[in-house]
Structure 1
Amino acid sequence: MKSRLFATLAAGTLLTCGLSGCSFLGIGSGGPVTLKLVAADYGTTPDTSSQKYWNHLAKQFEAANPKIKVDVQVFSWSDIDGKVAEMVKNGNPPDLVQTGGFADKVAAGQLYTASDVLSIDTQTNFLDSFNRAGNVLGTQYGIPFAASSRTFFYNKAIFRQAGITQPPATWDDLKNDAALIKAKVPGVTPYALPLGPEEAQAETSMWTMSGGSGITDAAGVYSLDSQQNVDTFNWLKQNLVDTHLTYPNPGSVDRQNAFTDFANGKVAMLDGHPTLLQQAHQGNIDFGTAPIPVKNAQVKPVSLGVADWMMAYSANGHRNEIRTFLSFAFNKDNMTKFDQEYSLLPVTQDTLAGMTSNNQNAELKPFLDALPSASFYPYGDPAWDTVSGRIKTEIGKAVQGDPKTVLSDLQNFAVAEAKSKRPQ
């Protein structure tokens, strides 16, 4: 689904919002304050770069708030963390950073809490599940900015060729459907299992949750080597990999490659996020979506929620100005415009309600419905970035060798990292 830009807000509306924010916060009559905003690029070409969105937003904000300037820098996802670290090291820290994680910055004592820089109206407008995911030791630091969730995609044309009438609800259904597809539709990978380094932590999360466990337990403690997870990867190895119902070496397959194969009619089933809707349409694929299959009827339906975050750095002391800008940036119209431009899902209640009621977003309904109850990565753990990185490089071995050994090694690494990076 190619994004549809909403009409730009009328200048009068922006002016009212901005001035009310300034008045409420009591910003004085001194010289202009410049906020330094660093953001990740969601675009794929110069024409779709997020730089254009943020430049436009900054211009509108500055018109309504002449005593606050916003200097915007947008970097690729591969560069942004290094660029921000360099700024901090050189004594030139940003005020706001929009990227993928926050807990390590909390451990380093670099951030304002969310309540420091959000008005009550702004903070209570976020979906509760995202506010909780932004917590570190019970205090919210991560400010949700954009979201994605996952659901099951299947190729209807391939299903018809294989004589399959409905999507699988359980793992046994999936295995049986995959076997039919292998037998009746040659040249097609029945189920994509992308455990390559691009996003293996997502596929791992979905399979462990659908097996009744997860990367962490209910208390947020790493549980990578739980018996349920060992059973899950044994099942994958024995029923999908060893029987040649997925790629020969899932650990070498990235998520985007699996998406491309699905959009080219070469994959019959996989778990995907909203971007795949657009790719599948571009490939003229007759596809459907359904809940992610679970181990059995005793396991509740699952959905993985993935969030990107805004974080507010405290070093420059611009708390009030940051609050004014965030009140503006997170209003419904601005958030809707960004989400629809980049095929993302909303993190605020009013944006979710607006997108859900819009018939143009009918295909997004399974993703939108999943957001309020979605499960998330352990974002609040300062060790998550390094643990996630290790999962990306190692988890593919769990369906090639001994799952218990691989998961035990990952668990030991995760526990040690969490202990070493725990705030003192």
Structure 2
Amino acid sequence: MSALGLTGVLGGCGTGGGSSDVTLRLVAADYGTGAANSSEKYWSALVDRYESDHPGVKIDVSVYSWNDVDREVKEMVDAGDPPDMAQIGAYADYAAEGRLYRAGDLLSIPVQADFLSQLSVAGEVNSVQYGMPFAASTRVLFYNKELFDEAGLTPPATWDELAENAEALKERGVTYPYALPLGPEEAQAEAMQWMLSGDGGYTDLGDTYAIDSTENVETFSWLRDELVGKGLTGPVAPGKLDRAKAFEAFAAGDVGMLNGHPSLMETAGKKGVKYGMVPTPGVDGESSSTLGVADWMMAFKEPGHRDQVGDFLDFVYSEKNVLDFSREYNLLPVTGSASRAMAASEQDRDLAPFLDQLPASELYPVGNMSWAAVNAEIKKQIGKAVAPGGSPAGVLGGLQAAATRAESAG
């Protein structure tokens, strides 16, 4: 995700000439890697097309980096001046406070029904959808083909095979046989990917936190003993290694294997790294589930433009617009119609491994008001669980206690 701090305003700045004219304000996150592909360009083109057919409606879009966008929206809300729409990382707090329109009050029935089912459910609070998925991705295991070929290796399907491959890569001097980024940038993603591959997760089937489950403790004990403890995760302690640094190392040819999302294809490809992708290895075979991640669109009640917002969002979620955005930023469509179009398109074949994973993916428990606090604690603490001499049971037990307190506070 972009962290460039780009800020732009698109569309009209006022209400125009007639009393019936409306200006809608949208705050959006920047998915670009620089000025050339900033999300400002995507929204500018989309808004131009919409406004040309809707002369009574102007759309002002402010684009902020992922470092800033959630804070910007919160400051607007706290100041009593929320935007009409926000496209950010989480929605549950605002929904629980009664600030958001229900998706069904905004979108036409065909548009709401087009969302992929697991994303719609993830957008619910108390069985009512408030969060509208905007972008999605999944994770697969990337491996360096040249390093594997030189060592005579085949891609792993199980944890034991992954450890054996990592040992062989270490013997050949590979800096990071397996890169395990449990640093504070995105530790929650790597941690959940491993939990799922060990038949665990952050929550149980009843959506209650189960961070210190037997399965999760066994997963992190294995990581500590079989990867980290044997020096197979490189020179930087996993708790200090951020995902961005791990991706950079992979693109530099210094990593044998790591979990990655679609943006790594472009990063590695630009550096000339020949890579392969396989489903996440599991404890006994290919993992039955993988991590899915979604970002969210929401609409605030306070500005009071429900009909105009709904019409604009119907346009935003048209098949063409969802496909255009997904293709521009190597992300997965959040609608069934766009997903089917991508699956059938030769130009999108590079995204096929991720698209295949999406139906079986599991998302963070974003519908829980407590998730923001729990997520922050995971980023701070989870790396300690795999440190030499560390206690997975103790660390995960502490996180479970923190999650219980956060739930009670909510």
TM-score bin, normalised by smaller chain: over 0.9
Kindly indicate whether residue 159 of structure 2 is the aligned counterpart of residue 171 of structure 1. yes
Q: Show the counterpart of 1:51.
A: 40
Tell me the number of residue pairs that the alignment of Structure 1 and Structure 2 aligns. 390
> How much does 1:300 deviate?
4.8
Cα contact 1:37–1:73 (8 A) shared by 2: yes
Q: Show the counterpart of 1:247.
A: 234
Kindly indicate whether residue 243 of structure 2 is the aligned counterpart of residue 265 of structure 1. no
Q: Show the counterpart of 2:148.
A: 159
Q: Show the counterpart of 1:6.
A: none
Looking at structure 2, the residues matched to 247 and 386 of structure 1 have their Cα atoms a distance apart, in angstroms, of 30
Q: Show the counterpart of 1:111.
A: 100
Cα contact 2:196–2:287 (8 A) shared by 1: no
What letter is aligned with 1:67? G
1:216 to 203, 209, 212: 203
1:93 to 64, 82, 85: 82
Looking at structure 1, the residues matched to 140 and 31 of structure 2 have their Cα atoms a distance apart, in angstroms, of 21
Q: Show the counterpart of 2:375.
A: 388
Cα contact 2:239–2:384 (8 A) shared by 1: yes
Cα contact 1:95–1:314 (8 A) shared by 2: yes
Cα contact 2:91–2:131 (8 A) shared by 1: yes
> How much does 1:245 deviate?
0.3
What letter is aligned with 1:288? G
Q: What SS does the aligned partner of 1:411 have?
A: helix
What letter is aligned with 2:136? A
Q: Show the counterpart of 1:18.
A: none
Kindly indicate whether residue 125 of structure 2 is the aligned counterpart of residue 136 of structure 1. yes
Looking at structure 2, the residues matched to 365 and 279 of structure 1 have their Cα atoms a distance apart, in angstroms, of 18
Computed over aligned residues only, the root mean square deviation of the Cα atoms, in angstroms, reads: 1.3
1:360-375 matched pairs, under 5 angstroms: 360-375=347-362
Q: Show the counterpart of 2:344.
A: 357
Cα contact 2:280–2:287 (8 A) shared by 1: no
Cα contact 2:174–2:255 (8 A) shared by 1: no
Q: What SS does the aligned partner of 1:73 have?
A: strand
Specify which structure has the bigger relative contact order, considering alpha-carbon pairs within 8 angstroms and separated by 6 or more residues. Answer: 1
Kindly indicate whether residue 315 of structure 2 is the aligned counterpart of residue 315 of structure 1. no
Dislocated runs of 4+, deviation >6 Å: none
1:72-128 Cα shifts (integer Å, max 9, x gaps) = 111111111221112122221101000111011112211011111111010011111
Q: What SS does the aligned partner of 1:301 have?
A: coil
Q: Show the counterpart of 2:14.
A: none
Looking at structure 2, the residues matched to 300 and 394 of structure 1 have their Cα atoms a distance apart, in angstroms, of 25
Cα contact 1:105–1:111 (8 A) shared by 2: yes
Q: Show the counterpart of 2:265.
A: 277
- For structure 1, the residue ranges without an aligned partner over 5 or more in a row are 1-28
- Gap change, CA 1:198 and 1:100, over 3 Å in 2: same
> How much does 1:289 deviate?
0.7
- For structure 2, the residue ranges without an aligned partner over 5 or more in a row are 1-17
1:67 to 51, 56, 61: 56
Q: Show the counterpart of 1:17.
A: none
1:17-59 Cα shifts (integer Å, max 9, x gaps) = xxxxxxxxxxxx9511111100011112122211121122122
1:42 to 9, 18, 31: 31
TM-score by length of 1: 0.90
Cα contact 1:32–1:67 (8 A) shared by 2: yes
Q: Show the counterpart of 1:23.
A: none
Looking at structure 1, the residues matched to 276 and 144 of structure 2 have their Cα atoms a distance apart, in angstroms, of 7
> How much does 1:212 deviate?
0.8
> How much does 1:419 deviate?
1.9
Looking at structure 2, the residues matched to 250 and 300 of structure 1 have their Cα atoms a distance apart, in angstroms, of 22
What letter is aligned with 1:250? P
Cα contact 1:291–1:301 (8 A) shared by 2: no
Kindly indicate whether residue 201 of structure 2 is the aligned counterpart of residue 198 of structure 1. no
